[in-house]
Amino acid sequence: MKSPDDLASQLGALPTSDVGDDVARRIQGRARVVLGREARLAKRPALRGASRLYDGAVEPALVAAACFVYLWWALDQTMAVFR
Amino acid sequence: MSRSGPWRVDRAVTAGSDADLLGRLRAADPAAFDAVYARYRAPLHSFLLRLTGRRWLAEDLLQETWLRFARHAVDLPADTPLRPWLFTVARNAFVSHRRWALLDADRLREVGLLPGRRTETPFELAAASQTERALEAGLAALPVAQREVLLLCAVERMEPSEAAQVLGLRPEAVRQRLSRARSMLAEHLGRSERPRP
């Protein structure tokens, strides 16, 4: 059984793992696009509020509503086959 | 895998403390973003890879973490501790993934729908020594609550107060959980060192 100090130093010496260059560049590029957009929006608070509302509430609600309507239609069509 | 720990190297070579970088980020300075990204990319990836055990998932969650950071960087209060903030976002992304992943392999194993034997993590496969492999296997075998506290306090060397911020617990609770996690890991290592009959 190892002592807590031994264990802590061994855990602290475990290696780190980085993503590959391509993945790192892709994530950085996407994040910088978002950062640039946020910086532009920061100068126009009203537009920023509207953008947040759209991204956080309107768009998810539209997607959920579209899924619901499609499911309803699919169920209706399926039941029509057996009617 | 890097033995020296890239963030420790990057912290030395990348100019500016976290507070300086945050000040520049609040003005949406892309160079400050790049510096934060270089400093914390590998530690966050390692944290997520040890939590998930799957490279593709760790990369997805890493991207989610940085996109969320980019979205909120200009709004962060000037006194925000950057490292705990980033690890909190990464952990929340992982917790959120687990909540929605109905067919998560860990859960299937817990309810007995998958055999108990788990596959080796990328860290185990790349381990340089037997001790390192045993430690990685021990970490991977711990329940998530114990694994994450060990990753933050022992691997990332966060203070219990910082880890408490990340985990949404009181520092005292973090110390208790850490102590329990260390015992469980030591027990696991003891079992794996014992020769099998």
Nearest CB partner across the interface for B33, out of A1, A12, A32: A32
Candidates 1.10.10.10, 3.40.50.300, 1.10.1740.10, 3.40.50.620; correct CATH number of B1-117?
1.10.1740.10
Q: Distance between CA B35 and CA B40 in Å, rounded?
A: 9
Class of the domain covering B120-197: mainly alpha
The answer to whether ipTM exceeds 0.90 is: no
3-state DSSP percent of chain A in helix, strand and coil, to 5: 85, 0, 15
Instruction: Count CB-CB contacts under 10 A for residue A62.
Output: 11
Nearest CB partner across the interface for A27, out of B2, B49, B63: B63
Quick one: pLDDT at residue A52? 83
DSSP tag of B79? T
Domain residue limits, chain A: 19-82
Question: Which residues in chain A have Cβ-Cβ distances shorter than 8 Å to B34?
Answer: 28, 32
Quick one: pLDDT at residue B11? 45
pLDDT tens column, A16-70: 889 999 999 999 999 999 999 888 888 888 888 888 899 889 999 999 999 999 9
- Whether chain A has a CB inside 8 Å of the CB on B51: the answer is no
- Residue A57: both structure tokens together: 């509430």
- Whether chain A has a CB inside 8 Å of the CB on B154: the answer is yes
- Whether chain B has a CB inside 8 Å of the CB on A4: the answer is yes
Cα distances from A45 to residues A38, A48, B23, B136, in angstroms, run 10, 5, 20, 47
Average pLDDT on B131-145 reads 88
The pTM assigned to this predicted structure is 0.78
Question: Which residues in chain A have Cβ-Cβ distances shorter than 8 Å to B158?
Answer: none
Question: Which residues in chain B have Cβ-Cβ distances shorter than 8 Å to A32?
Answer: 30, 33-34, 70
pLDDT tens column, A59-69: 999 999 999 99
Instruction: Count CB-CB contacts under 10 A for residue B117.
Output: 6
In three-state secondary structure terms, A44 is coil
Domain residue limits, chain B: 1-117, 120-197
